[in-house]
A and B are shown apart, each in its own frame.
Chain A
Amino acid sequence: MTTRREFLKTGLAGAALLNVAACSRPSENGGRTMVLSAVIPVMLAGALPAGDEARQELVVRTVAGVDRAIAGLSLATQKEIGELFDLLAFPLTRMLAAGVWSSWPDATPEAIGNFLESWRHSRFDLLKSGYAALHDLIFGAWYARPDTWAAIAYPGPPEVK
């Protein structure tokens, strides 16, 4: 099976590029937050309420929820998720692998939507699984919170005494 790293070395961006992405570890130092802050409003369009201030606050809370979810994954999976966000946060691999040409804060919803669709329907399993990871982390963090349940008519757990 081709691992993400082998795949990138041979198929996409070249060893030098990947090594730069890996060495600079952009997913740490706020890179992951930057990627998520851009992707979350697009993934959650239709679920996030309108109105700038409330919306921004909910995005911040969802980023924190994703952080918590990642912290509960196995250490091996956390490492893979780290590589995914390295790839997305590092400018050259963001452009080449995700097709997002502007920085994440400047990327339009259309560009981010195109990125999500291109990975979702990619011919490479690796990119499909990268999309699935973003999908599951973001929706999981969003619908874990009781304040999102009214919109889907979920009453929440009953009381047990």
Chain B
Amino acid sequence: MRDPFREGLATGWKHIDASQLIDNPTFEADVVIVGSGAGGGVTAEILTAAGLKVVIVEEGPLRTSSDFHMREAEAYPDLYQESAARKTADKAINILQGRCVGGSTTVNWTSSFRTPPTTLNWWQSAHGLKRLSVEAMAPWFAAMEHRLHVGLWPLPPNENNAALARGAAKLGIPVAVIPRNVKLCWNLGYCGMGCPTNAKQSMLLTTIPAALTNGATLISRLRAERLEFSGRRAVSLTGTALKPDGLHPSGITVTLRARHFVLSGGAINSPALLMRSAATDPHGLLGKRTFLHPTLISSGLFDQPIRAFSGAPQSIYSDHFLDSVAIDGPLGYKLEVPPLHPVLFSTTLQGWGEAHARLMREFAHSQTTLALVRDGFNPDSRGGQVRLRDDGSAVLDYPLNATYWEAARRALLTMAEIQFAAGARWVTPVHETSPGYTSWAEAKRGLAELPLAPLVCRVVSAHVMGGCAMGDAPEHGVVDDEGRHFQIENLSVHDGSLFPTSIGANPQLSIYGLVARNASLLAAALTGQPKPAIL
């Protein structure tokens, strides 16, 4: 198997592993980009193509396809924030986020949805983002779909996804095929541990290589610690080099100076960097309204093998329970399935001892469905808040309130009904006191009474959004619709923290499209070249 990234390094791409530095260097660039995921990757490609000198700072390690051995024990500590065990402050929500070159795009499950029209329309009407219409954004999504080879998954779904399709069809619930950003995909099922076959068109394989070919410098294992300001401008970024363990500072400090700074560290780390830097926040909006699509899990046992570890992880979805409710009414939810692997499944599954072991023995017959709750539209769904621990690290407070649990109960009922319709012989939500149910009638009665509360009912997230929200005026947002900071004139935010609500779909393509637009505008502003034609 080829490793295109290592081949590129051999041709002279500039990559510095900050854990190996032995002095305190200073870098000068036109633009410093913090983060190499969906936002940072797209920005780096577009800015370098415009002739700008770019340095990309990444806290995680550089790992490439020959490092991806499809082993959870390696992938989670190496490629994820906090070993894939990042949690909200009360520990009630487990958050999967990437931390490596390519960010979450290196480890996501490749689902590629445009921002739903309902969401863009809401941003226009409720958040004043008049320029972000469905029509105006369509060419940017189309451009990124082309760039990242997004297409409807052409092969039959694996049995985990097929069960969702089958159960929904029996109940008259519409489903559809998921578009994925893959090329010559082997249909293995290990996307979450890094793609070993270079099929996933992540930033690691597309925009970051393009930027490096254009002369960008990539610095990995460097934590963006603090921005220094002078008046209304950011003048430098101080980075803390990490040891090879990725946790402890090595003692080396890196100084990065630039005309412009772009924050693409993701929706927890970008606001946290601004907070650590004591960035001006006159309206108290920084780090607020952070959204998660807080996700419920329902697990069903089938007589036939499901083998949810094998095959494209996500290929079928249903938006029926988003589209059939008012966007600002009781919370709606998107239905999908996750891939199951032993560590992820066993740690998520409730119980211990023989009860847990019994469920694990049926691992290959387990079908699991997810309901991703659309947060941030109902006035009672205000999301969470990023804050700093004493050591300066970021933590998210996300209270789960009654409005959420009302939706959660509907979602658990929906999933159980679909799983029984698909042929499950036993279904349980992932929940500490659920006894599990052997029929839809029994589940309907039981779920109606089940106590729903944090740390009792399991809630997970792989989508972090908001915290540096766009607004039409400084009183309403941290940045404008181009991602430009309202108070700091040479600072932009290009990642999921831009979103004023959740997306209501897996967010990667929403980030790609919006950032492609905003990076193109930024390139024009910094170079004096004409603005892009598709605006």
Contact = CB atoms under 8 A, between A and B. Distances in A.
Contacts of A121: 432-433
A46 B342 contact: no
Interface in B330-387: 341-343, 345-347, 349, 352-358, 360-361, 363-364
A60 interface: no
A161 B352 contact: no
Interface in B81-97: 82-83, 85-87, 89-92
Interface stretch (A30-38, A97-105, A128-136): A128-136
Interface stretch (A13-21, A51-59, A67-75): A67-75
B391 interface: yes
B69 A157 contact: yes
Contact of B91 (A132, A144, A152): A132
Interface string B423-464: 000000000110000000000000000000011100000000
B456 A73 contact: no
A45 B354 contact: yes
B364 A45 contact: no
Nearest to B78: A72
A1 B89 contact: yes
Nearest to B74: A144
B309 A154 contact: yes
Nearest to B86: A74
- Dominant SS at the A interface? helix
A120 B391 CA distance: 30
A95 B364 CA distance: 40
B391 A129 contact: no
Contacts of B69: 157
A42 B353 contact: yes
Nearest to B341: A154
A116 B90 contact: no
Contacts of B82: 73-74, 77
Contact of A160 (B73, B196, B363, B397): B196
Contact of A45 (B71, B357, B361, B397): B357
B70 A157 contact: yes
A47 B346 CA distance: 12
Given A140-B347, A154-B309, A74 B393 contact: yes
A128 B363 contact: no
B247 interface: yes
B1 interface: yes
Contacts of B472: none
Contacts of B354: 45-46
Interface residues on B, range: 35 or more
Given A120-B432, A160-B196, A47 B90 contact: no
A47 B363 CA distance: 13
B238 interface: no
Given A46-B358, A75-B247, A157-B71, A140 B454 contact: no
A140 B356 CA distance: 13
Given A73-B82, A161-B1, A153 B358 contact: no
Contacts of B326: none
B420 to A, nearest CB: 23
B248 interface: yes
B77 interface: yes
Contact of B90 (A46, A75, A125, A148): A125
Nearest to B348: A136
Given A113-B353, A160-B196, A125 B455 contact: yes
Contacts of B456: 128
Interface in A102-161: 113, 116, 120-121, 125, 128-129, 132-133, 135-136, 139-140, 142-145, 148-149, 151-154, 157-158, 160-161
Q: Which 10 A-B pairs have the closest CB atoms?
A: A46-B357, A157-B70, A72-B77, A143-B342, A46-B354, A144-B73, A129-B91, A152-B363, A128-B455, A45-B353
Given A139-B347, A153-B364, A157-B71, 15 more contacts: A46-B356, A47-B356, A47-B360, A74-B393, A76-B393, A113-B353, A116-B352, A120-B352, A125-B92, A140-B343, A140-B346, A143-B343, A143-B346, A152-B363, A153-B363
Interface of A: 1, 42-47, 69, 71-77, 113, 116, 120-121, 125, 128-129, 132-133, 135-136, 139-140, 142-145, 148-149, 151-154, 157-158, 160-161
13 contacts: A46-B355, A47-B360, A69-B83, A77-B87, A139-B343, A139-B356, A140-B343, A143-B347, A148-B342, A152-B361, A158-B188, A160-B197, A161-B1
